[in-house]
A and B are shown apart, each in its own frame.
Chain A
């Protein structure tokens, strides 16, 4: 190295900036920086000029104005006199809701299908292959509009539930599947503690906080009991029975707090032309949720299958030679190793699902795209602000999800030397 690059004689020459490897990287970087900055300035100048011409300089004040539109599916209180910012927040919560539900269902279905595709049963494996290929090779938007069409066209109308001999009936007298949406029982508290308000933007039920706190405390204690049992097992070789204690510390306080709060279920009931009471899940939510879940599940199934197949056969044979039963081989030997391979692509599927949830706009589910980038944009005419804000929020969600899972990934990663 030292011999190859002898220092040039004489002073610094301009051509060294390009021909001398010591300076060239600097030159390239500075040139890139200048190029990108010039591009940004050019775009920025164009934007300011265009906006000035239209007479609407960048201003986020519209977020504080009344929104004036209704959102039918919402997690928090909202009416059309609330401000645009709150509407966007309702939309954001809706996005997170469908993404959360979707990730759970997609994981369950995907793992099931992925494992069944490896089944020794020929016909089961083939059916799963057909499922995976069908869902993977057709656009998700088509699945979403198809699911919506099924919800609207194939399910009975609320009036079919009426009369002595109705054409449709409720499941367990608690669930009603109609073409206006699905009605499920809602949790109610007769001795509610009320709501806690964060700066008037976001109300959270104190009941919910109390229940979650009790549950968390219960799980924490159960973990302590488990650790104690581990210790005893290490010392004596005999594991004490823990499940009655564990169940006790989790369930008893939970039931107690539910009783204190006066928990009961509110059932939907047919009143007039429609159902009343219960929680009303709109068609759009259900359609989006099912379509996204089953579409993503096809990809997850392939990931799971690949992960399991990547574990060499010797691993399961060795476990079998040790006398483990098949389900224990899966649980103790194959899955822990397969998970390391499965988790990273699984995270990217979760991210895809979250991003695809923006297709809600096609079925009229009011998520972030439907509120902030949909009606708010149309009403305020602030395209630049709305689209940029929406992009930033999605970016933040994506970064949070991938960040959280990366931390998990670091923890399960093989500790090598």
Chain B
């Protein structure tokens, strides 16, 4: 009997996957209805989402944007959607948004914070995006002085002379370095301090008398709203970065006394709530200064917020330093670099790169924590929401204000955390 072997000579075409495992239906089955438990979870989730949205969306969108006060708002809502409907009264935001942003900053001078904000974006850009020309960093260094002058006003000679202090320090460092390095460092620290504390005020007065250039001064108690949150948050984080790096290095060093002080400071600050530090700023800081000194509440808050976040930054940077392979330190030593050279050229660029996500999240935390200043009487957005509610026109309005403030904070913080993720991806050189 002849056996005819069955041998296929041509390959069959592949069949398309069944509809249940590909396309939208497959996606639905895999992600939403995979087994009884999963189906139940999906249904429960859908019900929850439906309940939330069916209450929230009408409230948000069937709402009033133009009204003089809360009663009028309610009347319009009743007339339009019936008395059963509860809609948001966004008119309060429409009515008071300038206040929520600027506080009680004089209306005529709103261009000043606006200009400062625009300049701030320009100043931050080269720090955030390395593709931009490096020359822009010069503007970033000058910005704090211009910004402070624009916001608080006063004589233009004040910021110029403060800047001159840095100039004096740099000049002293450069020219005395030829004589003696130690002497030049000491002079670069001492001379500017002498200039700022003893000489500057007379010079500013003199120059202002000769050439009176300046802006109308604005008192700190007129500051408020998101402006104050951004001022405190941004200044504190900028100042706390160098301080935090120094503290982190101090904690890592082998010098016993330096290490003890660093650890003590960091642990103390991290062990107490920010609100106690703010109380120190509002009630105690003047006790620690020579009698007669009385400086601005916002500046005092910035000082305490700086100390607070520097301790957290120090811990983040320490994490970065610890994550660096020991070989990097040894390689730097073997090249004959001294401590500061090694830090500047080898250690810090890598350690800070590792620490960036932590630094950003510290900043987000600090930015959110600026709302605490409402407790010591600064009119930040939350403080202002109480002030607006105290007005008889808007008495009893809660949710709209909270929703607006929360929304703005969400936008800021969420975009910052996304930026940090972008940076993490960009800097990830596959080193770990």
Contacts and interface: CB of A to CB of B under 8 A. Distances in A.
B352 to A, nearest CB: 21
A318 interface: no
A123 B279 contact: no
Interface in A41-72: 43, 46-47, 49-51, 53
Given A47-B287, A137-B410, A395-B271, A127 B48 contact: yes
A122 interface: yes
Chain B interface residue number, banded: 35 or more
Interface of B, secondary structure class, is helix
Interface of A, secondary structure class, is helix
Contacts of B287: 46-47, 50-51, 383-384
A6 B352 CA distance: 37
22 contacts: A29-B257, A50-B286, A50-B291, A120-B30, A121-B41, A124-B41, A124-B42, A124-B45, A138-B413, A141-B372, A141-B374, A142-B405, A153-B398, A359-B372, A373-B276, A377-B283, A383-B279, A387-B276, A390-B279, A394-B273, A394-B276, A398-B272
B45 A127 contact: yes
A150 to B, nearest CB: 9
A120 B38 contact: yes
Nearest to B385: A145
B217 to A, nearest CB: 27
Given A46-B289, A398-B271, A123 B283 contact: no
Interface in A99-123: 119-123
Interface string A24-50: 010011101100100000010011011
Contact of B406 (A29, A46, A138, A383): A138
A394 B288 CA distance: 22
A306 to B, nearest CB: 12
Interface string A377-396: 10000011001001100110
Contacts of B48: 127
Interface string B31-46: 1101000100110011
B412 to A, nearest CB: 8
A209 B242 CA distance: 52
Contacts of A49: 290-291
Contacts of B258: 28-29, 32
Contacts of B49: 123, 127
A64 to B, nearest CB: 22
A54 B273 CA distance: 28
A139 interface: yes
Contacts of A33: 257
Given A120-B34, A358-B276, A139 B289 contact: no
B273 A139 contact: no
Q: In the A-B complex, list the 3 residue pairs whose CB atoms are closest, starting with the nearest.
A: A137-B413, A398-B271, A122-B31
Contacts of A50: 286-287, 291
Given A25-B255, A36-B261, A138-B410, A121 B371 contact: no
A141 B41 contact: no
